[in-house]
A = this chain, B = another copy of it.
């Protein structure tokens, strides 16, 4: 008696199906508001079945989080692989970041929505994962030709904030991610008062 979800993803193993559902729920509602029951219901199994695959709720979160980070890293790496010019690389990275953050069923939203403090058990690991990802952006930012008075760290954090905050206001059907990424980078590069540069 396969459930809807099983039919939907017939090829996925039990562990994967749990992870998919959990990732989405954690991204939508946060860690505390998502119960193991919720996850079990979404997958179509008993609560006990969850524990055949994961030792604890925090382990599920950690696994989902790690997977999310890994995929964003890969997406950013892929996106930047084809560009040479530093600002182009940055824009490509932002576009990839937004795509995963806003579209793909919570894949990366977990990373933004769940705060390490929410999961004491896994806090240290979560921070480490988050750092791994930030290193990517640190590298990209380090190649930019910023004016000397600009604090590169603060520049990067400003960018990350601008990007991640989009989860708060973005609605499908509105401005697309490519456009969002372009304007954010464009503004941070030349400022909002400078007339548009020739393409």
Binding site for B on A (CB under 8 A): 28-30, 32-33, 115, 117-118, 144-151, 154-155, 157-166, 168-169, 175, 180, 183-184, 187-196
A-B contacts, 13 of them at CB < 8 A, read A28-B117, A30-B30, A115-B168, A147-B195, A148-B196, A151-B183, A164-B165, A188-B188, A188-B192, A189-B191, A189-B193, A190-B193, A190-B194
In the assembled complex, the CB of A38 is this many whole angstroms from the nearest CB of chain B, namely: 13
**Cβ contact of A118, chosen from B33, B117, B147, B162, cutoff 8 A:** B33
Query: Is there an interface contact between A183 and B150, defined as CB atoms closer than 8 Å?
Result: yes
| Chain B residues in 8 Å Cβ range of A159 | 162
Contacts of A29 in B (CB 8 A): 117-118
Q: For A193, list chain B residues within 8 Å (CB).
A: 144-147, 189-190
